[in-house]
Structure formats: structure tokens, C-alpha cells
Structure 1
């Protein structure tokens, strides 16, 4: 079932239907009898849009000193097991090979020196800590709920990057026209979105 769910979400992302993908996952979480992860529904990360714009602007400028940037890749850390700190790292490339075969993303030309913290979901970080520390992952229903929540968090990070890109476009920032690929390092779901 998880593969079908992931395929559905990736299909929506491929069609640039991010909001619809978020709605699908939120509905799934609400229908799940496990209550632990339900507080994530309705929350977003848009309060850190300006911080992300500044971070991306700095990363792009630093990368441009070394290469001609053709694309960026943003990856959230392994947040489901690293519940103490959530953040995003950015990588720059002198090429853009698209989404058809994403192996090229493993070979970046530049990596940001600092990470951008992801804040605002500390209550969910505490849920993941309890989930891991008390081995709740051994319960199949909780495992499904954790997967659904992880998918929503990845989608919310992608929503944040989409908002940052809109700000960059409005301000005519240097990186506004550069494709940005966004995912999480080893989330339960391998959801990749191009902003």
C-alpha cells in the first residue's frame, strides 16, 4: 500500500499539484486511528519563508563564486530518526539533468557551508522522539501513521521552497530562474519536487 501511496503523491508532484498532494496526505492522517501524529495536520512552515530566501540567496552567491549554477538541490536531514534538530542542506550543480534519472544529484559541484534550520514543528519532533525511544515503530498501525506524517513533512518543506521561490521571483533575485529540487535524505517516502 505504501508504494501505491508514494506513487500517487509523486504523480501529483510531477504534475505540480503540491497543494492537492498535501490535502491527500492530511486526509489520510485524519482517517488513521492512531492519534500520535494528527497534530501535524494544518501546520505549515511558511513562517520561515524569509529566512529560507536569505539562506538560498547566500548559498547561491557562494556557489556562483565557484561554478555557474544551473540547478540547486535541497535535502532535509533524516528527520524521522534525528528528531532533535531538523534542517535543510543545499547543493549546487553546473548542470540540470532533470527528473528522468536523478542519479546525477549524488554528484554535486558545491555544498552549502551551513544548514537552514526547520522550525515550527517541535511538537512533532517530540512525537518522533517518543516513537523511536519507546519502539512504537514495532506497531504496524503506528508505523503507517509515522510514514504518513513523514510524507506530509516532506511536502510542507517543498511548499516552503515553493513560497521562497515565489519571493525570489518577485524580487528578481539571481537564483529565481534556477530549478530547485527538494526532498528529504532518507524519509519513508522518496518524494522529489521541482520548484
Structure 2
């Protein structure tokens, strides 16, 4: 997912592919071999995106209570994204889709919280 905390106008995902999976760390994820020509816009979070815009434009993340809520909200957005992909994989498996055999790594830009599916 794009850097959603500062790109509040549009949240989207890009898909990347690799011929092999790295073993020791996730640094290899930056060295993708193929990617989608078009990104995929995430819909349904427009109200939350307005909150991110307000916090960012008005520097509200310096207010301790807002900072704490902001950090929790970041994690919840990423977890929701990961849940979306988990459910997509489950549906693909039930439908017999071949791509379900391949692992997928789900995260947001500049986050180390990476979820591996399959």
C-alpha cells in the first residue's frame, strides 16, 4: 500500500512479483522483477482519509492524544489491508484459483509489519 498517512488523497496498492523468495530478511522485496501497470485504488475509507488530511495539514499529530490515536489508526489500516488479502486468498483457494499456490507479502510503504499469506 502507498504511504497512506501523507497521501491521504488516494490510497492504493501496487502488485509486484519475484522469481524467488529471499531467506534472511525482507530487503529483497525492494528488488521486484515485475509489477502491475496500473495501481488499484482502495475505496471505502474516504472519511478516514479526511481525518488523515486534517491531522497532516494542521500538524495535529503533535497533540499527545491525537498522536496516540494516530499511531493506533496506522496499525489498524495496515491490519485491515492484510485482512483484505487474507480473505481474498481464502476465496481464491475455495474457487480453485491457481495463483493461490503462490505466497504473497502484504505491507504498506515504509512499514516493517509484513504479513505473509500462504
TM-score between the two structures when normalised by the length of structure 2: 0.94
Partner of 2:51: 127
Partner of 2:114: 192
Partner of 2:63: 139
TM-score between the two structures when normalised by the length of structure 1: 0.58
Structure 1 residue 139: deviation in Å? 1.3
Gap regions ≥5 residues in structure 2: none
Q: Could you say which structure has the greater relative contact order, defined with CA pairs below 8 angstroms and 6 or more residues apart?
A: 1
Q: CA RMSD in A?
A: 1.1
Structure 1 residue 142: deviation in Å? 1.1
How does 1:132-171 map onto structure 2 within 5 Å? 132-171=56-95
Deviating beyond 4 angstroms after TM superposition, the runs of 4 or more aligned structure 1 residues are none
CA distance in 1, matches of 2:72, 2:56: 16
Structure 1 residue 137: deviation in Å? 1.3
Gap regions ≥5 residues in structure 1: 1-75
Partner of 2:15: 90
